[in-house]
Amino acid sequence: MDDPACLSDRDCPSVSVCVRSRCVALGAACDDARRCPSPDVCSRGACMRPGRCRDSVQCGPSEACVGNVCLPSRCQKGSCPAGTTCDPDLGVCGLSPCTDDHECISPWICDLVVRQCRPAGEVTAVERCDGRDNDLDGVVDEGFEVGAKCEVAVGACRREGRRACAPDGADTNCEAVPGTESPERCDGLDNDCDGEVDEDFPDLGAPCVAGRGVCSPGRVGCRTDGSATVCGPEPDAGAAAAERCDGLDNDCDGEVDEDFPGLGLSCVTGTGACRAVGLLRCDGRGSGAECAAAPKGPTEERCDGLDNDCDGEVDEGLADCRL
Protein backbone atom coordinates (compact mmCIF):
# COMPACT_ATOMS: atom_id res chain seq x y z
CA MET A 1 0.00 0.00 0.00
CA ASP A 2 1.37 3.41 -0.90
CA ASP A 3 2.37 5.81 1.88
CA PRO A 4 -0.33 8.45 2.39
CA ALA A 5 0.29 11.97 1.07
CA CYS A 6 1.04 14.77 3.52
CA LEU A 7 2.01 18.40 3.87
CA SER A 8 3.39 18.17 7.44
CA ASP A 9 3.92 15.61 10.23
CA ARG A 10 0.43 16.40 11.55
CA ASP A 11 -1.01 14.67 8.48
CA CYS A 12 0.75 11.36 9.36
CA PRO A 13 0.20 8.58 11.94
CA SER A 14 1.93 8.97 15.30
CA VAL A 15 4.95 6.85 14.35
CA SER A 16 5.42 8.41 10.90
CA VAL A 17 6.86 11.66 9.62
CA CYS A 18 6.18 13.65 6.45
CA VAL A 19 9.09 13.23 4.02
CA ARG A 20 8.85 14.64 0.48
CA SER A 21 5.05 14.90 0.76
CA ARG A 22 4.67 11.21 1.81
CA CYS A 23 4.20 9.76 5.32
CA VAL A 24 7.16 7.52 6.20
CA ALA A 25 7.00 5.18 9.26
CA LEU A 26 9.71 5.81 11.84
CA GLY A 27 9.74 2.15 12.82
CA ALA A 28 8.13 -0.48 15.01
CA ALA A 29 7.15 0.17 18.62
CA CYS A 30 9.88 -0.62 21.12
CA ASP A 31 10.86 -0.55 24.79
CA ASP A 32 13.65 -1.95 26.90
CA ALA A 33 12.36 -5.49 26.34
CA ARG A 34 11.70 -5.09 22.63
CA ARG A 35 14.83 -3.81 21.03
CA CYS A 36 15.19 -2.27 17.57
CA PRO A 37 17.09 -3.87 14.71
CA SER A 38 20.45 -2.24 13.97
CA PRO A 39 21.12 0.54 13.11
CA ASP A 40 17.78 1.85 14.50
CA VAL A 41 17.54 2.91 18.15
CA CYS A 42 14.54 3.04 20.47
CA SER A 43 13.49 6.63 20.95
CA ARG A 44 10.35 7.38 22.96
CA GLY A 45 8.74 4.07 22.10
CA ALA A 46 9.51 3.99 18.38
CA CYS A 47 12.44 2.60 16.40
CA MET A 48 14.23 5.22 14.34
CA ARG A 49 17.62 5.92 12.85
CA PRO A 50 20.17 7.67 15.08
CA GLY A 51 19.83 11.43 14.85
CA ARG A 52 16.15 11.26 13.81
CA CYS A 53 13.53 12.66 16.17
CA ARG A 54 9.94 13.72 16.68
CA ASP A 55 10.76 16.32 19.33
CA SER A 56 13.84 17.62 21.08
CA VAL A 57 13.65 15.19 24.06
CA GLN A 58 14.76 12.44 21.68
CA CYS A 59 17.98 14.36 20.92
CA GLY A 60 21.18 14.62 22.85
CA PRO A 61 22.33 17.45 25.11
CA SER A 62 22.55 20.85 23.37
CA GLU A 63 20.51 19.51 20.45
CA ALA A 64 17.08 20.39 19.11
CA CYS A 65 14.72 18.43 16.84
CA VAL A 66 14.47 20.38 13.58
CA GLY A 67 12.63 18.71 10.74
CA ASN A 68 12.88 15.28 12.46
CA VAL A 69 16.67 15.70 12.62
CA CYS A 70 18.69 16.40 15.77
CA LEU A 71 20.73 19.55 15.22
CA PRO A 72 22.86 21.62 17.61
CA SER A 73 20.61 23.97 19.58
CA ARG A 74 23.45 26.45 20.00
CA CYS A 75 26.05 26.99 17.33
CA GLN A 76 28.91 29.04 16.10
CA LYS A 77 30.01 29.69 12.57
CA GLY A 78 31.19 26.44 11.00
CA SER A 79 29.68 24.16 13.68
CA CYS A 80 26.46 23.22 11.84
CA PRO A 81 25.97 20.10 9.71
CA ALA A 82 26.13 20.35 5.94
CA GLY A 83 22.93 21.76 4.53
CA THR A 84 22.41 24.19 7.43
CA THR A 85 24.02 27.43 8.50
CA CYS A 86 24.40 29.05 11.89
CA ASP A 87 21.94 31.88 12.50
CA PRO A 88 24.16 34.53 14.15
CA ASP A 89 21.17 36.18 15.84
CA LEU A 90 19.49 33.07 17.24
CA GLY A 91 22.63 30.99 17.67
CA VAL A 92 20.94 27.92 16.19
CA CYS A 93 21.55 25.89 13.06
CA GLY A 94 19.22 27.25 10.43
CA LEU A 95 18.47 26.95 6.75
CA SER A 96 20.92 27.02 3.86
CA PRO A 97 20.25 28.41 0.41
CA CYS A 98 19.64 25.80 -2.27
CA THR A 99 18.43 25.21 -5.80
CA ASP A 100 17.82 21.43 -5.57
CA ASP A 101 17.35 18.68 -2.99
CA HIS A 102 20.88 17.33 -3.36
CA GLU A 103 22.21 20.51 -1.73
CA CYS A 104 20.35 19.73 1.52
CA ILE A 105 21.02 17.04 4.14
CA SER A 106 18.42 14.27 4.22
CA PRO A 107 15.64 14.30 5.24
CA TRP A 108 15.65 18.02 4.52
CA ILE A 109 14.73 19.06 1.00
CA CYS A 110 14.98 22.28 -1.00
CA ASP A 111 12.01 24.63 -0.66
CA LEU A 112 11.91 26.00 -4.21
CA VAL A 113 9.65 28.89 -3.16
CA VAL A 114 12.19 30.47 -0.79
CA ARG A 115 15.23 28.60 -2.19
CA GLN A 116 16.26 27.27 1.24
CA CYS A 117 16.76 23.82 2.79
CA ARG A 118 13.81 23.02 5.05
CA PRO A 119 12.39 19.98 6.82
CA ALA A 120 10.44 17.89 4.33
CA GLY A 121 7.20 18.24 6.30
CA GLU A 122 7.42 22.03 6.21
CA VAL A 123 7.93 22.36 2.48
CA THR A 124 4.92 23.14 0.34
CA ALA A 125 5.25 21.00 -2.74
CA VAL A 126 5.96 23.05 -5.86
CA GLU A 127 5.47 21.70 -9.35
CA ARG A 128 8.68 21.38 -11.30
CA CYS A 129 9.23 20.69 -14.95
CA ASP A 130 10.55 17.15 -14.73
CA GLY A 131 7.83 14.84 -16.04
CA ARG A 132 6.52 14.14 -12.51
CA ASP A 133 3.51 15.27 -10.50
CA ASN A 134 5.48 17.10 -7.79
CA ASP A 135 2.51 18.81 -6.13
CA LEU A 136 0.35 15.67 -6.19
CA ASP A 137 -2.59 17.30 -7.96
CA GLY A 138 -2.88 14.65 -10.65
CA VAL A 139 -1.38 16.85 -13.35
CA VAL A 140 2.20 16.68 -14.58
CA ASP A 141 4.28 19.79 -15.34
CA GLU A 142 1.28 22.15 -15.23
CA GLY A 143 2.27 25.79 -15.60
CA PHE A 144 5.05 24.92 -18.04
CA GLU A 145 4.48 25.17 -21.79
CA VAL A 146 5.94 21.75 -22.50
CA GLY A 147 5.48 20.86 -26.16
CA ALA A 148 4.50 24.39 -27.23
CA LYS A 149 5.89 25.70 -30.50
CA CYS A 150 8.86 28.02 -30.16
CA GLU A 151 11.63 29.58 -32.20
CA VAL A 152 15.23 30.58 -31.68
CA ALA A 153 17.48 33.18 -33.32
CA VAL A 154 16.51 35.66 -36.04
CA GLY A 155 17.01 36.16 -39.74
CA ALA A 156 18.50 33.29 -41.71
CA CYS A 157 19.38 31.55 -38.41
CA ARG A 158 15.76 31.36 -37.24
CA ARG A 159 14.58 27.83 -36.50
CA GLU A 160 11.38 26.40 -35.00
CA GLY A 161 11.09 23.74 -32.34
CA ARG A 162 9.14 22.63 -29.24
CA ARG A 163 9.57 23.64 -25.61
CA ALA A 164 10.95 21.01 -23.21
CA CYS A 165 11.89 20.98 -19.52
CA ALA A 166 15.15 22.70 -18.62
CA PRO A 167 17.76 20.61 -16.75
CA ASP A 168 17.08 22.45 -13.45
CA GLY A 169 13.31 21.83 -13.72
CA ALA A 170 12.56 25.50 -13.08
CA ASP A 171 11.56 26.41 -16.62
CA THR A 172 11.47 25.20 -20.21
CA ASN A 173 13.92 25.61 -23.06
CA CYS A 174 13.24 25.76 -26.77
CA GLU A 175 14.66 22.58 -28.30
CA ALA A 176 15.69 24.09 -31.62
CA VAL A 177 19.17 24.52 -33.03
CA PRO A 178 19.86 27.93 -34.60
CA GLY A 179 21.10 28.04 -38.17
CA THR A 180 24.60 29.18 -39.11
CA GLU A 181 25.16 32.85 -39.82
CA SER A 182 27.00 34.04 -42.91
CA PRO A 183 28.36 37.39 -44.17
CA GLU A 184 25.65 39.90 -44.99
CA ARG A 185 24.62 39.98 -48.66
CA CYS A 186 22.40 42.36 -50.59
CA ASP A 187 19.42 40.08 -51.04
CA GLY A 188 16.66 41.25 -48.70
CA LEU A 189 17.64 38.69 -46.02
CA ASP A 190 19.29 38.93 -42.60
CA ASN A 191 22.23 36.69 -43.50
CA ASP A 192 24.37 37.47 -40.43
CA CYS A 193 21.43 36.96 -38.05
CA ASP A 194 21.75 40.28 -36.22
CA GLY A 195 18.16 41.41 -36.70
CA GLU A 196 18.96 43.80 -39.56
CA VAL A 197 18.54 43.30 -43.30
CA ASP A 198 21.12 44.47 -45.89
CA GLU A 199 22.63 46.86 -43.30
CA ASP A 200 26.05 46.75 -45.02
CA PHE A 201 24.61 48.50 -48.08
CA PRO A 202 23.68 52.03 -46.89
CA ASP A 203 22.83 53.39 -50.38
CA LEU A 204 20.16 50.74 -50.95
CA GLY A 205 16.87 52.38 -51.94
CA ALA A 206 18.36 55.81 -52.72
CA PRO A 207 17.21 57.65 -55.90
CA CYS A 208 19.56 57.46 -58.87
CA VAL A 209 19.71 58.21 -62.60
CA ALA A 210 19.20 55.03 -64.55
CA GLY A 211 19.05 56.46 -68.08
CA ARG A 212 18.14 59.52 -70.14
CA GLY A 213 14.87 61.26 -70.75
CA VAL A 214 11.79 59.54 -69.44
CA CYS A 215 14.00 56.51 -68.75
CA SER A 216 16.13 58.38 -66.18
CA PRO A 217 14.31 57.87 -62.80
CA GLY A 218 16.01 55.06 -60.93
CA ARG A 219 16.44 53.48 -57.52
CA VAL A 220 19.51 51.77 -56.04
CA GLY A 221 18.86 48.03 -55.67
CA CYS A 222 20.77 44.80 -55.11
CA ARG A 223 22.78 43.13 -57.82
CA THR A 224 21.48 39.72 -58.78
CA ASP A 225 24.52 38.02 -57.19
CA GLY A 226 24.00 39.90 -53.89
CA SER A 227 27.56 41.23 -53.84
CA ALA A 228 26.81 44.95 -54.25
CA THR A 229 24.20 47.54 -55.21
CA VAL A 230 23.33 48.85 -58.66
CA CYS A 231 21.16 51.66 -60.04
CA GLY A 232 18.10 50.34 -61.81
CA PRO A 233 15.00 51.97 -63.31
CA GLU A 234 12.06 52.74 -61.09
CA PRO A 235 9.09 50.42 -61.63
CA ASP A 236 7.04 53.37 -62.92
CA ALA A 237 9.85 54.85 -65.04
CA GLY A 238 9.03 55.25 -68.72
CA ALA A 239 10.39 52.98 -71.43
CA ALA A 240 11.91 54.26 -74.66
CA ALA A 241 9.17 55.01 -77.22
CA ALA A 242 8.60 57.04 -80.39
CA GLU A 243 9.35 60.71 -79.93
CA ARG A 244 6.33 62.91 -79.31
CA CYS A 245 5.96 66.66 -79.30
CA ASP A 246 5.51 67.14 -75.56
CA GLY A 247 8.71 68.61 -74.16
CA LEU A 248 10.03 65.17 -73.11
CA ASP A 249 12.75 62.88 -74.38
CA ASN A 250 10.42 60.00 -75.19
CA ASP A 251 12.95 57.88 -77.07
CA CYS A 252 15.58 58.35 -74.31
CA ASP A 253 18.30 59.52 -76.72
CA GLY A 254 19.16 62.69 -74.84
CA GLU A 255 17.23 65.01 -77.17
CA VAL A 256 13.81 66.56 -76.69
CA ASP A 257 11.24 66.89 -79.50
CA GLU A 258 14.00 66.47 -82.08
CA ASP A 259 11.54 65.09 -84.64
CA PHE A 260 9.67 68.41 -84.76
CA PRO A 261 12.01 71.00 -86.31
CA GLY A 262 11.24 74.72 -86.04
CA LEU A 263 9.79 74.60 -82.53
CA GLY A 264 10.16 78.03 -80.97
CA LEU A 265 10.61 79.88 -84.26
CA SER A 266 8.37 82.73 -85.44
CA CYS A 267 5.25 81.80 -87.42
CA VAL A 268 2.20 83.43 -89.05
CA THR A 269 -1.41 82.35 -89.05
CA GLY A 270 -4.44 83.86 -90.89
CA THR A 271 -4.62 86.18 -93.92
CA GLY A 272 -5.40 89.81 -94.62
CA ALA A 273 -6.44 91.84 -91.63
CA CYS A 274 -6.80 88.57 -89.63
CA ARG A 275 -3.09 87.74 -89.93
CA ALA A 276 -1.30 87.13 -86.55
CA VAL A 277 2.36 86.40 -85.67
CA GLY A 278 3.41 83.88 -82.98
CA LEU A 279 5.84 81.04 -82.18
CA LEU A 280 5.73 77.44 -83.32
CA ARG A 281 4.91 75.07 -80.45
CA CYS A 282 3.58 71.53 -79.74
CA ASP A 283 -0.09 71.12 -80.50
CA GLY A 284 -0.98 69.68 -77.05
CA ARG A 285 -1.78 66.25 -78.46
CA GLY A 286 1.87 65.33 -78.91
CA SER A 287 1.38 64.50 -82.57
CA GLY A 288 2.72 67.70 -84.16
CA ALA A 289 3.43 71.43 -83.93
CA GLU A 290 1.22 74.47 -84.43
CA CYS A 291 1.59 78.23 -84.56
CA ALA A 292 0.77 79.72 -81.22
CA ALA A 293 -0.98 82.87 -82.51
CA ALA A 294 -4.60 84.00 -82.30
CA PRO A 295 -5.79 85.52 -85.61
CA LYS A 296 -8.20 88.43 -85.51
CA GLY A 297 -11.76 88.02 -86.69
CA PRO A 298 -12.85 89.22 -90.18
CA THR A 299 -14.83 92.47 -90.67
CA GLU A 300 -16.91 93.91 -93.50
CA GLU A 301 -14.87 94.70 -96.57
CA ARG A 302 -14.07 98.40 -96.91
CA CYS A 303 -12.43 100.51 -99.56
CA ASP A 304 -9.11 100.92 -97.84
CA GLY A 305 -6.66 98.72 -99.67
CA LEU A 306 -6.94 95.97 -97.04
CA ASP A 307 -8.42 92.52 -96.96
CA ASN A 308 -10.89 93.30 -94.21
CA ASP A 309 -12.92 90.11 -94.50
CA CYS A 310 -9.78 87.94 -94.60
CA ASP A 311 -10.72 86.07 -97.81
CA GLY A 312 -7.48 86.78 -99.64
CA GLU A 313 -8.90 89.60 -101.76
CA VAL A 314 -8.66 93.37 -101.30
CA ASP A 315 -11.62 95.76 -101.71
CA GLU A 316 -13.55 93.17 -103.69
CA GLY A 317 -17.15 93.92 -104.49
CA LEU A 318 -16.71 97.69 -104.12
CA ALA A 319 -17.31 99.01 -107.68
CA ASP A 320 -16.80 102.67 -106.92
CA CYS A 321 -13.65 102.12 -104.89
CA ARG A 322 -10.74 103.99 -106.42
CA LEU A 323 -7.52 104.34 -104.43
pLDDT at 32: 58
- Three-state secondary-structure class, residue 261: coil
What are the E-state strand segments in 248-300? 266-269, 276-282, 289-292
pLDDT at 161: 95
pLDDT at 186: 96
What is the distance between the alpha carbons of residues 29 and 152, in angstroms, rounded to a whole number?
Answer: 59
Backbone angles phi, psi at 122, to 5 degrees: -100, 0
pLDDT at 1: 45
Beta pairing, strands 116-119 & 108-111: antiparallel
Among 21, 24, 5, which Cα is nearest to 123's?
21
pTM for this prediction: 0.44
Do the beta carbons of residue 73 and residue 62 sit within 8 Å?
yes
List Cβ neighbours of 10 (8 Å cut-off, separation of 6 or more).
none
pLDDT at 44: 61
Q: Is 45 exposed, middle or buried (0-12, 13-18, 19+ CB in 10 A)?
A: exposed
Tens place of pLDDT per residue across the chain (323 aa) = 455 666 665 666 655 655 556 665 655 556 655 566 666 677 666 666 666 666 666 676 666 665 566 666 666 666 676 656 676 655 566 666 777 766 666 666 777 767 777 776 666 677 889 888 877 778 999 999 999 999 999 999 999 999 999 988 889 999 999 999 999 999 999 999 999 999 999 999 999 998 888 888 899 999 999 999 999 888 777 778 899 999 998 888 889 999 998 899 999 998 988 999 999 999 989 889 999 988 888 888 888 888 888 988 887 878 777 76
